[in-house]
Amino acid sequence: MLRIKGFLKGSVYELKTRCGKPNCACARPDGERHRRWVFSHTPEDGRKRLRVVPDEHYENWRLWAGNYSEFRRHRAEFVKLTRRILVSLDAIERAQRHSSEE
């Protein structure tokens, strides 16, 4: 988890869209849509944002977004493990606790 170097909170994926020009090939029902890579993220205001990924940044952004997903996956595993440890420690405490009436 600590070996991950740099991440972007979001995801990078390919988006297929129509440009809106009536004479473009993408306007036909069977026409191929335009493809572009986008970065999807949700800033503090809570509204999902899409940003076109510049070609020269695609590899890094894809890697960093993947790193973020991996980090969050490892973090969730760590939280589960920590909860299990705390449950075990609570059980040990209950088993070892002496009553004040003894």
* Structural domain spans, the chain: 11-69
12 and 43 Cβ atoms separated by less than 8 Å: no
pLDDT at 27: 87
pTM of the model: 0.68
Low-confidence ranges of the chain (pLDDT < 50): none
pLDDT at 1: 60
Q: How far apart are the first and last CA of the chain?
A: 47
Task: Give the HSE-up count for residue 64: Cα atoms under 13 Å, Cβ half-sphere.
Answer: 14
